[in-house]
Amino acid sequence: MSGLFNPRRFTAMLVKEGLQIARDPSTFLIAFVLPILLLFLFGYGVNLDTARSRIGIVQADGSQAAQSLAGAYQGSQWFDVVATGTVSQLSPDLVAGRIRGIVVIPDGFGRQVAQGGGTIQVLTDGSMPNTASFIGAYAEGVRATWAAARGAGRGMVAAPPIQTAARFWFNPELKSRYNLVPGAIAVVMTMVGTLLTALVIAREWERGTLEALMATPVGMAEFIATKVVPYFLLALGSMTLCTVLAIFVFGVPFRGSPLALLAIASTFLFPALGQGLLISAATKNQFVASQVALLSAFLPTMLLSGFLFEISSMPKPIQAITYLVPSRYLIPQLQTVFIAGDDWGLFLPDMAALIGFGLVFFILAVRATRRRIA
């Protein structure tokens, strides 16, 4: 492949690539059907919000204070009291997962309250540590609220010298959907940008059309550009579809600007498309290219980008590896532009990192393509 950049030739190549995309139904399935499925999965199927937890109550004390506390748990918005009895009676339900915790109001609780104390016991299933910690914290919260209200009603508790009031910016209802849906858009862009382009050059090799291209004067820049531009536009279309669904179907607020979203998406597609072309040029086989794309792009986006798991909670060596995952720099930008607004002080460093990844991938892709075509 040699020759200078020729607009007429480039346009003809773009038309040829567009027709090839139009004749391949799998392209539209990956670009438009799969994103909708993923978005509905993460929008409705994956929910990290803490809903009402099923618990049992053991009331070993018959005092008025114990009955009042048991009523506080039954009226709590966080708990659904589905069983009462003794610990031995409720333990099988806890083991089987029919309830998530047991609140024990011990014998003598009323006497302890009269003396200014009062302790309870909360039994949870440690095999589900997150759920166990939630139930423990909320059970103590209900008890503390009940004790404060009881003391205030009797004039026994003075107002504390320092009071705290929690305020949650941008997402006051703490809906996990507001984070998951923008993260799902990052997964979609990874799939469309990397997986589709990973099949491009490999498909040319398998169909034998690359040899015909080698006999033409098309230049390397034209060849790479004709493989990138159509899929860049396709990925932007898929991102636009996902954004419309996120706002109007899932109710995710969009407080940023379309210009910022376009800039964020474009800078991420730069390394995503480059990675896909590198994989495609290096493998020459569509099946191998698709597997490599899934392992090197899709799985890291799911596991190491901060989408589902907090990076700060990962081991230090894994945290260091996450800096090599391009989507790590995309997801905070998407979440910010959706639920907070434009923050170019946050966007620009991440954009610079994505451009750096893109340059590396495209340089390697050009070198790998030239070695096999020259």
CATH no. for residue 145?
3.40.1710.10
| Residue 237 in domain | yes
Give the single-character DSSP code of 367. Answer: H
- pLDDT score recorded for residue 354: 96
Are 13 and 98 in the same domain?
no
How many domains would you assign to the chain? 2
Give the DSSP H or E segment for 121.
strand 121-124
Residues of the chain above pLDDT 90, percent: 37
Are 190 and 42 in the same domain?
yes
| Residue 352 in domain | yes
Domain boundary among the residues 120, 153, 186 is at 153
Are 268 and 364 in the same domain?
yes
Calculate the alpha carbon distances from 250 to 37, 42, 191, 229 in Å.
13, 10, 21, 30
| Mean pLDDT, all residues of the chain | 85
C-beta of residue 210 within 8 angstroms of C-beta of residue 358: no
Q: What is the CA radius of gyration of the chain?
A: 28
Are 218 and 338 in the same domain?
yes
Rounded Cα–Cα distance for residues 256 and 157 (Å): 46
Are 129 and 208 in the same domain?
no
Contacts 24+ apart (CB under 8 A), 141-150: 141/78, 142/72, 142/73, 142/76, 142/78, 142/79, 143/69, 143/72, 143/118, 145/72, 146/68, 146/69, 146/72, 147/113, 147/118, 150/65, 150/68, 150/113
| Residue 339 in domain | yes
Residue with tokens 């978005």: 39
Residues of the chain above pLDDT 70, percent: 90
Rounded (5°) CA angle 272-273-277:
120
- pLDDT score recorded for residue 125: 86
**pLDDT > 70? residue 214:** no
Calculate the alpha carbon distances from 112 to 72, 165, 219 in Å.
18, 29, 86
Q: Helices 64-74 and 129-153: crossing angle, nearest 10°?
A: 130
| Strands across the sheet containing 53-59 | 79-84, 53-59, 101-105, 121-124
The pTM for the full model equals: 0.77
| Residue 342 in domain | yes
Task: Kindly state the average pLDDT of the residues 339-350.
Answer: 92
- pLDDT score recorded for residue 374: 44
How sure is the predictor about 165, in pLDDT bands with cuts at 50, 70 and 90? low
| Residue 93 in domain | yes
Domain residue limits at 70: 53-153
